[in-house]
Amino acid sequence: MGNIRILPDTIANRIAAGEVVLRPASVVRELMDNSLDAEAKHIDVLVERGGRSVIEVRDDGIGMDEDDALLAFERHATSKIRRPEDLMHISTLGFRGEALASIAAVSRVTLETRTRDRDSGTRVVIEGGKLKRVETIALPPGTRVIVRGLFYNMPARRKFLRGIQTELRYITQTVQDLALAYPEVTFRLRHHQRELVYYVSVSVWEDRLVQVFGNSMMDKMIPLKGNMGDYRLTGWISRPDTGSRTPETLYLFVNRRPIRDRWLVRLFRECWQRYGARWDYPHLVVFLELPPDQVDVNVHPSKLEVRFREPSNIQGLVRGAMERAFAAERPTVHLDMAPVSRVGSPPPILNEPVRLISQVKPTPPQENPVSLSDDPSRSSISVPRPEPTFPRLWGQFQACYLILEDEKGLLILDQHLVHERFLYETWSQHLLEGSLRSQSLLVPVVLEIGPNKVAKLMEYEDRWNKWGWSIKPFGPGAVSVNAAPAGVWPTRIESAIHALLDALESMSPDLKEWEHDVLKDVACKAAIKKGTRLSEDQMRFLTDTWYRLKVPQVCPHGRIMAVRLTLNDIHRAFGRTWNLQMEDKRADE
């Protein structure tokens, strides 16, 4: 009895510190958050021994007067929220009023601060939560917090700190996170006298990304943009051929607050993989901006987790931004060219040389692509596309690939897969509108398939009609195909019919899904095969088609259909790694 006691503040604060202050990087994070909330334009971070002995954060923000400088160390002392309702729309990084009290409880803190409208500032010294000194000092406007001997009074905690390099890595990461979110602020991080980070303020996000990640990574990123009501998304995601096996390059921000959110990562990843990405994770930097009352940031002590009030809005925003970006950029796999070595035997002579097209005229963007079979019913196919560029068609290679050049470099297309994708996209579109367009055959194709299969096929005649086929029994064990869906390659009719027969074997209760699976298979069987030599018009048709595809990266079954070799890739392979523009002026090299 009578054993319960209210803990003295110094102990209570030390316990609270356990949640807020895990390691030097958390101190850096809290102090920088405060500087950003104080509208600083310059933030200077200085650490010693990985933050174990000294962490100093200096800013040129609004500062504090003497009263506030003392109050700031009280628990739950904050200038950022006043009423319970304020918790519903937090627009600052801090709001709990716990950080300074917690940090001061487990270290020796000196705070120096001055507001712009005063001539002098205040210095407050606190050790282990106890106020030691308050004095008036001269200093420029802004705030400087020096934290010495973190966990000096908590030996158990101190033992759990990792090595200097590891702690330093966490700190650098923390500075980078915030630097990404605040490009208009200059950030500097030094370890003893060594400068680790120096990002000068810039006016656009993209420039800050280049400062943090470098040009070569940004070369591989596709910009994302989206708006939905009050929600806004700005971001960058890597091309489908660039990514990683671990979630290491994922940077998500909500109202400029760095967050971790598996749901959001999964959403991006799934969209991305639909465009042929074979990696587990993309490189991703995303800034979401939404009204503060649409997101709850008070979910977890670390403030790293958030809860969205309307996840479906976020979903729509992300999907829309991804679709637009991938349609506009048409990102493709890049060929990684290593310098060629001369060891070994000479290359075999190619049995089917590149058939170069002698006279090259640019193909104008066409609303109605040239039809492979000159069937006018095809011309109504138009997938809304950005203006195609003017690719220069080089020719066909190995009767399998089309080689062309556009403003981004060389492009290699798989003729079969492009045609397959085109058929699939066109047919799915027409199916949505009711039925597939049909093309009648000048000479009907007669197929001997045996009486059983004839019966089976004819049982579903209505469906085949809807899909653009006209199939009639022809004698005892044969059918005559009089019309086929527009686009079927003339010599592929037989194999397409076999795809229909196969499909009957795998009828599934989910008819919609089954239909799409069959369309994929039929598209594959009905498309030009590899080994088919193409006329110049046919090649042009296919290359124009590629620029109009909704998904220009993979065939319906997921195989890569386009590979790119940029001018940079080629220069690099030849060892021209420095500024490529300067190189132009030195034409003789």
Cα 25 from Cα 369, distance rounded (Å): 58
Residue 487 gets the label, from left (phi > 0), alpha (psi -120 to 50) or beta, of left
Q: DSSP character for 388?
A: P
Half-sphere exposure of 117 (CA within 13 A, CB side): 3
Size of site (CB under 6 A) for ligand ADP? 23
Residue 322 engages Mg ion in binding (rule: CB under 5 A) = no
Residue 94 engages ligand ADP in binding (rule: CB under 6 A) = yes
Q: Considering the complex, state which of residue 17 and residue 381 has its C-beta at the smaller distance from ligand ADP.
A: 17
Q: Considering the complex, state which of residue 101 and residue 555 has its C-beta at the smaller distance from ligand ADP.
A: 101
Residue 100 engages ligand ADP in binding (rule: CB under 6 A) = yes
Q: Per-residue x/- marks for Mg ion, 88-107, CB under 5 A?
A: ------x----x--------
Find the residue with minimal CB distance to Mg ion.
94
Residue 81 engages Mg ion in binding (rule: CB under 5 A) = no
In sequence order, which ranges of 214-300 are alpha helices (DSSP H)?
215-218, 262-273
Q: Per-residue x/- marks for Mg ion, 20-59, CB under 5 A?
A: -------------xx-------------------------
Tokens encoding 553: 């990266």
| Distance spanning both ends of the chain, measured CA to CA | 91
Residue 91 engages ligand ADP in binding (rule: CB under 6 A) = no
Q: Considering the complex, state which of residue 33 and residue 112 has its C-beta at the smaller distance from Mg ion.
A: 33
Residue 143 engages Mg ion in binding (rule: CB under 5 A) = no
Residue 34 engages ligand ADP in binding (rule: CB under 6 A) = yes
Cβ 195 to Mg ion shortest distance, Å: 26
Partnered with residue 414 across adjacent β-strands are: 401
Half-sphere exposure of 437 (CA within 13 A, CB side): 16
516 makes contact, choosing from Mg ion, ligand ADP, none, with CB < 5 to 8 Å by partner type, with: none
Cα 14 from Cα 54, distance rounded (Å): 19
Q: What residue type is assigned to position 422 of the chain?
A: F
Query: From the list 78, 122, 186, 426, which residue makes contact with ligand ADP (rule: CB under 6 A)?
Result: 78
Rg (CA), the chain: 32
Tokens encoding 285: 């930097």
Query: From the list 21, 47, 66, 95, which residue makes contact with ligand ADP (rule: CB under 6 A)?
Result: 95
Residue 64 engages ligand ADP in binding (rule: CB under 6 A) = yes
Q: What residue type is assigned to position 358 of the chain?
A: S
Cβ 155 to ligand ADP shortest distance, Å: 25
Q: Considering the complex, state which of residue 33 and residue 261 has its C-beta at the smaller distance from Mg ion.
A: 33
Cα 574 from Cα 589, distance rounded (Å): 12
Q: Count the neighbouring beta carbons within 10 Å of the beta carbon of residue 582.
A: 8
Find the residue with minimal CB distance to ligand ADP.
94
Q: In this structure, are residues 256 and 303 in contact, taking their beta carbons and an 8 Å threshold? A: no
Residue 61 engages Mg ion in binding (rule: CB under 5 A) = no
Question: Counting runs of H as helices and runs of E as strands, what totals does the chain give?
Answer: 18, 26
Q: Which of residues 465-484 bind Mg ion (CB under 5 A)?
A: none
Q: Considering the complex, state which of residue 61 and residue 485 has its C-beta at the smaller distance from ligand ADP.
A: 61
Q: In this structure, are residues 33 and 99 in contact, taking their beta carbons and an 8 Å threshold? A: yes
Q: Mark the segment that binds ligand ADP (CB under 6 A) among 33-41, 212-220, 430-438, 503-511.
A: 33-41
Tokens encoding 441: 């055959």
Cβ 27 to ligand ADP shortest distance, Å: 11
79 makes contact, choosing from ligand ADP, Mg ion, none, with CB < 5 to 8 Å by partner type, with: ligand ADP
Q: Which of 351, 332, 338, 234 is nearest to 275 (CA)?
A: 332
> Which residues here bind ligand ADP, judged by CB under 6 A?
30, 34-35, 38, 59, 61-64, 72, 77-80, 94-101, 143
